[in-house]
Amino acid sequence: MDRVKGKVAVVTGGASGIGEATAKLLAREGASAAIVDIDDVNGQRVAGEIQNAGGVAAFWHMDVTREEEVRQAFAGIYDKFRQLHILVNNAGIAGPRKPVHETPVEEWDRVMNVNLRGAFFCTKHAVPYILKTGTGSVVNVASVYGILGCDTPSYDTSKGAMRSMTKSDALIYAKSNIRFNSIHPGNILTPLFRKLAAVIDPVGVDNAIRKLSVSNPLGRMGTPEEIANCILFLASDESSYVTGIELLADGGMVNLPFPVY
Q: Tell me if residue 155 is catalytic.
A: yes
Q: Which residues, including other chains, have CB under 8 Å from residue 244's CB and lie 6 or more apart?
A: 166, 167, 170, 171, 180, 181
Considering the candidates 155, 173, 241, 261, report the single residue annotated as catalytic: 155
Catalytic residues, by residue number, are: 155
